[in-house]
Amino acid sequence: MKRKLAPPAPARGVIRSGRITVEFELSSLGRDAARAFAALATRGVREFEQYAGLRSRTRLRFVVCGGTHISTARARTILLPAYRVASRSAPYLHEIAHVLLPCRHAPPWFSEGLACYLESAVSERGGGYDSHLFSSDGNRGLDAHAARWLADPRGQRVLPFIGTRGLPPGIVADRHNVAAPFYVLSHSLVKYLADQVGIAALIRLARAQRFAAELRRVTEKSAAAWRSAWLGYFVPPASSRRARH
């Protein structure tokens, strides 16, 4: 019985730019596009570090593949779908945030919300493009988007995981109905925190080994108190609503 031979691995190319290495499948991304992305990622890292006040010599490895649809970051390697890189819709700044500012001890809402917030903030400063993966207007238009999810049953289903611990079931399998509201609402809560206490406080929280204790120390409020204040921003007290009529 003849053994079936495994198909040959796709031919790959490599582009290096400063601290950035881009590995890509030649059948999925052209060399010129890969070179342009390497320059874009190099600028993104520089602008990200300047905005966040970081000093790093971390080398980042981007792997651009044709057979994946979800972007991920592990250690110093970032995996991106080739079609998103080609169409300039890859969340590369979001994943750069995860690599350069890993929130090892923070709850998922803060880790993902901060990466979303920093992606939008850096792109709005001219440091690259915003992938608009789950929101369309970055930090500037986020409040309206979050309000729509809060009024949607799908947003209400993920709300118990915002400002608390854990991830909603189905976040990987159902990107439209679970991941989208979770990311937008997490982003919104982090933006609310940033507006109140500033980016430097968020950076300290990202590095904290005891997130809850550091949040209370830095901001003088618990996560539950911040969550309540954030929700109150979208839903004013009943007495305030009555006064408007």
| Confidence at residue 235, expressed as pLDDT on a 0 to 100 scale | 75
| Confidence at residue 229, expressed as pLDDT on a 0 to 100 scale | 96
- 174-214 pLDDT, tens digit each: 999 999 999 999 999 999 999 999 999 999 999 999 999 99
| Confidence at residue 8, expressed as pLDDT on a 0 to 100 scale | 57
Residue segments in the chain with a per-residue pLDDT below the cut of 50: 1, 238-245
| Confidence at residue 241, expressed as pLDDT on a 0 to 100 scale | 43
Beta bridge partners of 13: 24
Dihedral angle computed from the Cα positions of residues 72, 80, 96 and 155, in that order, rounded to the nearest 10 degrees: -60
- Long-range contacts made by residues 169-174, C-beta under 8 angstroms, separation at least 24? 172/70
> Which of 101, 108, 103, 105 has the alpha carbon at shortest distance from 209?
105
Q: How, if at all, do strands 77-81 and 20-25 pair?
A: unpaired
The rounded distance, in Å, linking the Cα atoms of 189 and 15 is: 37
CATH of region 12-102: 3.30.2010.30
| Confidence at residue 202, expressed as pLDDT on a 0 to 100 scale | 97
| Confidence at residue 243, expressed as pLDDT on a 0 to 100 scale | 42
